[in-house]
Structure 1
């Protein structure tokens, strides 16, 4: 009898924890996207600094400061895109939660 009660309580616990788990997964994905974006921003700033100071790896005739600045700009655009994706993941998690509350699934 005790085993049945324990199993039933475990199932009930898992059933209530699942929506929270799904939202936590979405928020984790959003945080990961934001961390990647921060890394890309840092790299873009590093590229810009190297282009301004003429330091770092530079191949003569191929990677002049103008080309290196363009590379930094591309990196910054990708970082902004990652930030937007992270925000989208957060909004998706909130929307899922509100949809479930509206439907009375909780």
Structure 2
């Protein structure tokens, strides 16, 4: 009987720990996506500044300022997508937590 009670309590503790762990994982993923987005924004700004100041490697006819600006714009678009994805991860984690509270799983 003691073993059954111990096993049941261990299962209950693991279940509670699992929900907290899943929440932490979601928040970690959101933070990681946000860091990647910030990195991409910095890179896009660097490309844009190089295109404006004509610094960096420039190949005639291939990497003129107009082409380099277009590359910077593409980088910025990807960074914005990453920001949206990080926000979505945060919202998903919050929604998951509220759903569990509403269902009385806590």
TM-score (norm 2): 0.90
- How many residues are matched? 106
- Unmatched segments (≥5 aa) in structure 2: none
State the partner residue of 1:25: 25
**Could you give the per-residue CA deviations for residues 9-65 of structure 1, whole angstroms, max 9, x where no partner exists?**
433321111111111111111001100000000000100111011111211111100
Name 1:96's counterpart in structure 2: 96
TM-score (norm: length of structure 1): 0.90
Runs of 4+ aligned structure 1 residues displaced above 6 Å come to 1-5
- List gaps (5 residues or longer) in structure 1: none
